[in-house]
Structure 1
């Protein structure tokens, strides 16, 4: 357990809550899953190709004091959100917290090299499945009659438009931020709160895949705190937004976690 993990508070009202985290086999999703486990939640650890890593995450959730099940599926496939939700409901009998974390840049491409295939891939991976999860999860939460928390994952790129061939990804995350505001308004009187976490430059497999060392150095130079973030530094925000006791009057917010790189 890291020092950050040891310092994180436990949220007693999350004990026993059913939580689904998409893209939870690595990075932010994996860190969040373990954080929910320390608060005694029941966590559906979603993965696509990384089943072995997802099982390791599930083991850490259990070791932390929570329950965990694995839920597989490629969120870019149109029938995947329904299947993932069905598996979660089968395991836990309900859904209290949905974390729409799955996403990715696809690849860095300059404007002159855009293609319809790239555009579709970016939307499928970052927008369409989030809309589908909202469309299908919200009625389930409403039918349960006990409210709930939905936490979307945006990005600092949604604020500044991205760079280095990442504009389509940044625009997709901009959709997530804007939709979070709208969904929160629509659901405000139902007991379902909708918020977003907007990470800055966090050391995850995302940047291992899409960013060069030179790009990482350049980004770090723009951060007032003078360093990159780590996934555990986002966990407290996820738990806070999930906890009705801690954030029951908070909805429609996009919470920036970026070391001061962007200050709205």
Structure 2
């Protein structure tokens, strides 16, 4: 048992996997949550264990309340929860709003928004000083799309991440007195396989010439920002949203 447990939702690939691996190096026992790819999650756990870390892979859809409860039960078996990284999220095929189905919208907001709320609820119930907790940190994953809007392709995704921006600020104010800091990281174009799942495998290559830094970011660069916000080094930061977008969300 340890008093330094971290849950990384969507921890089997991309930013989540990089965060889980970096968290283990920082001394956390890691819950690597995944929705479907058990093999990828097992590989992350194996990499952590190979360097002497502790980790467990836990299946679960964060948009399903029973699955969220199972994820947190696994964390309870490892020790005391210190950090939640609300990383799990989905994107869909490019579409105009005029062509979006109810099923697409329900899935997008259930996972990206409701899932973050459900996970935060369970984290608060374990971390809050008034509930016998020791405090902690919640780091949400938003996106540069929240500022840019995703027109003609991903307005629903952008809107879901806009909700996470507001959620971060509101929740930070709500739980600051409970010893819980709530922050977010806002990635831009990052070289991960989320673009494949969204049906745009060449998106990074196509967009790179137009990016302010002329390159995409890496999952590791985002993970380092997440772990900094979760750490005592960021002890006076709450309600903050840190752009890791290579200037995409703030420069013309």
TM-score using structure 2 length: 0.93
Pairs aligned (count)? 248
Q: Deviation string for 1:175-226 (max 9, x for gaps)?
A: 0011100000111122100001111100111012225366434422332111
User: Is the partner of 2:156 in helix, strand or coil?
Assistant: helix
User: Is the partner of 1:79 in helix, strand or coil?
Assistant: helix
Q: CA RMSD in A?
A: 1.7
**Correspondence 1:131 to 2:122:** no
**Correspondence 1:207 to 2:202:** no
Q: Deviation string for 1:1-49 (max 9, x for gaps)?
A: xxxxxxxxxxxxxx96100000000000000000011112100011111
Instruction: Identify which of 123, 126, 130 aligns with 1:140.
Output: 126
In the superposition, relative to structure 1, how do residues 139 and 212 fare at CA in structure 2: closer, same or farther (>3 Å)? closer
User: Is the partner of 2:7 in helix, strand or coil?
Assistant: strand
How far apart, CA to CA, are the structure 1 residues paired with 2:150 and 2:215? Answer: 19
Residue 176 (structure 2) aligns with? 188
Unaligned 5+ runs, structure 1? 1-14
CA contact (8 A) 1:154 1:199 kept: yes
Instruction: Identify which of 58, 69, 75 aligns with 2:62.
Output: 75
Unaligned 5+ runs, structure 2? none
How far apart, CA to CA, are the structure 2 residues paired with 1:239 and 1:146? Answer: 18
In the superposition, relative to structure 1, how do residues 211 and 256 fare at CA in structure 2: closer, same or farther (>3 Å)? farther
User: Is the partner of 1:212 in helix, strand or coil?
Assistant: coil
TM-score using structure 1 length: 0.89
Instruction: Identify which of 124, 146, 151 aligns with 1:158.
Output: 146
How far apart, CA to CA, are the structure 2 residues paired with 1:97 and 1:169? Answer: 25
